[in-house]
């Protein structure tokens, strides 16, 4: 799977998010795995990435 990873907090213009290929997670116990086809980013996520929020 692909995931955007926050390695260091920095202004968005400095591209603090890095796209990485990660192994697909394996469900355990009573868990299930679902396929996500769309995702949104809220402004709070941007505040975290930029370091405005810890």
* 42-52 confidence digits (pLDDT tens): 888 888 899 99
pTM of the model: 0.66
Give the E-state strand segments of the chain in sequence order: 2-6, 17-21
User: Does residue 26 carry a pLDDT above 90?
Assistant: yes
Task: List the alpha helices (DSSP H) in 1-54.
Answer: 43-50
What is the predicted pLDDT for the residue at 29? 94
- Average pLDDT of the residues in 12-32: 93
């Amino acid at each position: 799977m692909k995931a955007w990873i926050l390695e260091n907090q920095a202004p968005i213009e400095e591209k603090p998010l890095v796209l990485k290929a990660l192994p697909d997670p394996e469900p355990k116990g009573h868990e299930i795995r679902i396929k996500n086809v769309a995702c949104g980013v809220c402004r709070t996520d941007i505040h975290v990435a930029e370091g405005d929020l810890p």
